[in-house]
A and B are shown apart, each in its own frame.
Chain A
């Protein structure tokens, strides 16, 4: 307990940074992922190719490499932003590829008859997707998106290696100051658990709220 109270300022600051990182990365991942999924199912072939290429490329690249390329490579191209923004681009862009696949397989769980019925009453692709298919797909997609976002929080710890002072990043200074390594890592783990457990509770609630009898 002493380790926690002694380093309260450091830990709470890191905790808030990780929370902010989660929020921004989650936002980027959800928006970009849904757009990519729409691309992948659209009637326009080049958009489909782009979606498929993005997903296959990003899913087969280690996040550390993306982080490396963004945080260390972008400044070389004279794109200068702060490291927090770099982390949001890397982690958000990486998770978006997975969200896209989750949304796409969610679209596949909607019975074919729904889309057929929508089309047969004359709805366009946009209407079919936004009014009929996506709202239903959303329900099926909540559990996998929940676990993806939780994995994202765990992955966001990588940002600490690239100059973002997040929760995990606090370990270096605390260990430096002579605190017990086990306790330092224990408290950091507790911090991550607080975020991930409350997220899984939130998603369980959402799932219950949105559940409908099929």
Chain B
């Protein structure tokens, strides 16, 4: 970040530089002090004891963590595939020429977006066992806690992805579809050959940012006893033999989560840059503060 690119403040003179330096030093001191205090608390409560960290060198424990990661990635992959398929279907339905189809899709999207995801997942987790009129062919949901998680994630993220795709298609210049219709293409041809490829292309960074949300939300599986990463962390943290290493386990697992999410976020930012480079004449949004172009990193989805 070069100082030149900002418009919020002047290029600092000698006095401002001195003041900024003082605030900077104070800030660093405050942060370092806070960090030192946290480290001190860790040390005081024995979080650095080798007894608590040793288990992470054992292959059996490493295998456990790896299995947890595998379970997380499996739920993530399934949820992403299902949510993209569902999103495409819902987006198509919301852009349909038939009013009942449009209404049904709108109602579906509104309902599942307003619902807390946890309620959805818990409902799917509890309902098959508790309901007498649960349809038999859906019993597989009861066999593996992965299914309530995957289905819940797919339903929720599917509706969000549908809105992303719809927004991408609606944002295209009207001339695109008009030209296609003028050439005599049918509606489905206009959609599949003209609008969808361009819409997806422009929304790809947003779609991938939503996948980061999906990846983070797989940790909800922990609450319904799906044996993913966080569940493994809890289990590790309860091992009496290793002195209940809950905090070391949380740090190890947290690092894995953060790195995987950052890789995925990085892909989104890179794609955004890559895609906007190809289009000449497109007005780039410049970050007022840093002079950087705004990337998908500025996306705001929780």
For B176, the chain A residues whose CB sits under 8 A away are none
Are B287's CB and A108's CB within 8 A? yes
- Asked if B298 CB lies within 8 Å of chain A CBs, one says yes
CB-CB under 8 A from A35, the residues of chain B are: none
Q: Does B219 contact A (CB under 8 A)?
A: yes
Q: Mark A183-210, 1 if CB is under 8 A from B, else 0.
A: 0010011001100110000000000000
Complex contacts, B254 vs chain A, CB 8 Å? 61, 65, 69
Is the Cβ of B20 less than 8 Å from the Cβ of A61?
Answer: no
Number of chain B residues close to chain A: CB under 8 A:
64
User: Residue on A with the closest CB to B287?
Assistant: A108
A105-133 at interface with B (beta carbon < 8 Å)? 105, 107-108, 110, 112, 115-116, 119, 124-125, 128-129, 133
Is B60 engaged at the interface, CB distance under 8 Å to the other chain? no
Q: Are A168 and B118 in contact (CB under 8 A)?
A: yes
Residues 258-302 of chain B: 1 if any A CB is under 8 Å from the residue's CB, otherwise 0?
A: 100110010000000000000000000101110000100010111
**A62 / chain B contacts, CB cutoff of 8 Å:** 216-219, 230, 257
Chain B residues within 8 Å of A73, by CB: 246-247, 250
Judged by a CB distance under 8 angstroms, whether A48 is at the interface is yes
Query: B131, A182: Cβ atoms under 8 Å?
Result: yes
* Residues of chain B within 8 A of A153, CB atoms compared: 116
Are B118 and A41 in contact, with the CB atoms below 8 A?
no
The reply on B114 being an interface residue by CB < 8 A is yes
Inter-chain contact A196/B24, CB cutoff 8 Å: no
Chain A residues with CB under 8 A of B115: 154, 189, 192
Asked if A212 is at the interface of the complex by the 8 Å CB criterion, the answer is no
Q: Does B117 contact A (CB under 8 A)?
A: yes
Chain A residues with CB below 8 A from B45, complex form: 76-78
CA distance A98 to B299 in the complex (A): 9
Cβ-defined contact, A185 with B119, below 8 A: yes
- With A62-B257, A192-B116: A47-B27 Cβ-Cβ less than 8 Å: yes
CB-CB < 8 A to A46: which residues of B?
24, 27-28, 31
Please, which residues of chain A bring their CB within 8 A of the CB of B253? 65
Cα–Cα, bound, A50→B28 (Å): 9
Q: Which secondary structure characterizes the binding site on chain A? A: helix
Distance between Cα atoms of A187 and B289 in the complex (Å)? 46
B230 contacts A115, CB within 8 Å? no
Q: Using A76-B47, A76-B246 as known contacts, say yes or no to A60 and B261 having CB atoms under 8 A apart.
A: yes
A72 CA / B250 CA spacing, docked (Å):
10
The verdict on A148 contacting chain B, using a C-beta distance below 8 Å, is yes
Pair A77/B42 contact, Cβ less than 8 Å: yes
CA distance A64 to B219 in the complex (A): 6
A161 at the interface (CB under 8 A from B): yes
A154 to B152, CA, bound (A): 14
Q: Which of B7, B118, B298 contacts A112, CB < 8 Å?
A: B7
- With A63-B216, A154-B116 known as contacts, the answer to whether A181 contacts B230 (CB < 8 A) is no
**B233 contacts partner chain A, Cβ-Cβ < 8 Å:** yes
- What residues on B are CB-neighbors of A119 within 8 Å? 7-10
Q: Decide if A213 is an interface residue (CB 8 Å cutoff).
A: no
Q: Are A65 and B24 in contact (CB under 8 A)?
A: no
Partner of A45, one of B16, B24, B123: B24
Is B51 an interface position by the 8 A CB rule? no
Find chain B residues with CB under 8 A from A45 CB: 1, 20, 24
Q: At the interface, yes or no: B171 with Cβ under 8 Å from chain A? A: no
Find the residue from A41, A43, A168, A188 having the highest chain B CB count within 10 A: A43
B41 at the interface (CB under 8 A from A): yes
Q: Roughly how many angstroms separate A108 CA and B288 CA in the complex, as a whole number?
A: 6
Contact between A168 and B119, CB atoms less than 8 A apart: yes
Expressed in whole angstroms, the minimum distance between the Cβ of A156 and any Cβ of chain B is: 8
- Decide: B230 and A64 in contact? CB cutoff 8 A: yes
Please determine whether B288 and A110 come into contact, CB atoms closer than 8 angstroms: yes
CA gap between A205 and B244 in the complex, in Å: 51
A76, A98, A196 — which one has the most chain B CB atoms within 10 A of its CB?
A: A76
Q: Given A69-B247, A125-B9, A189-B115, list of 10 further CB < 8 A pairs?
A: A41-B8, A50-B31, A62-B257, A72-B237, A76-B246, A78-B44, A105-B298, A115-B7, A153-B116, A158-B220
What are some 14 contacts across the A-B interface (CB < 8 A)? Answer: A40-B289, A43-B16, A43-B20, A44-B23, A47-B27, A60-B265, A72-B246, A72-B250, A77-B41, A108-B289, A154-B116, A160-B118, A175-B130, A185-B119
